[in-house]
Amino acid sequence: MWAIIRRAIVPAALLAGGLASLIYGAIFHQVPMVEDHESETTIEVPAELPPRPPMGDNFPPDGEPFLPPLRMVKKKVTRVETVAALESEPATMRDASVGAIELLESGELKRAAVATEGPALCPS
């Protein structure tokens, strides 16, 4: 009788432990992921270089050279910022299976530019 119980309890305990560790890993384990975020901002820059200040006897009486105000133009600037974030293990595995994750030389994982689509010529 005890032999039958031991034969049933040990595999059941191992199966329950394996399922619990699988569920724990799927829910709570996170992988650090590096992403590039692009942000566009508009800044004002001078339209041309400022004129050179007068030299020698061309100074006004108060001692300060007169500089005309600069004409400013608006210019769009795109800034790429690398941000590290934590991502769940199942999402990382799904993205890795479609080729949306790259391994950098530093050993970090980086999300590719197109993370929503898989490769066009997938062999599988």
Residue 42 covered by a domain? yes
Residue 74 covered by a domain? yes
Residue 60 covered by a domain? no
Residue 122 covered by a domain? no
Residue 12 covered by a domain? no
Domains contained in the chain, number: 1
- Exposure string over 33-67, b if 16+ CB within 10 A, otherwise e: bbeeeeeeeeeeeeeeeeeeeeeeeeeeeeeeeee
Residue 7 covered by a domain? no
Task: Tell me the residue range of the domain where 95 lies.
Answer: 30-48+68-111
Q: What pLDDT score does 82 carry?
A: 81
Closest C-alpha to 69, from 46, 87, 85: 46
Q: What confidence tens digit (pLDDT) does each residue in 6-24 have?
A: 788 888 999 999 999 988 8
pLDDT averaged over the chain? 77
Q: What confidence tens digit (pLDDT) does each residue in 54-94 have?
A: 566 655 566 555 666 677 788 888 888 888 888 888 888 88
Residue 73 covered by a domain? yes
Q: What pLDDT score does 98 carry?
A: 80
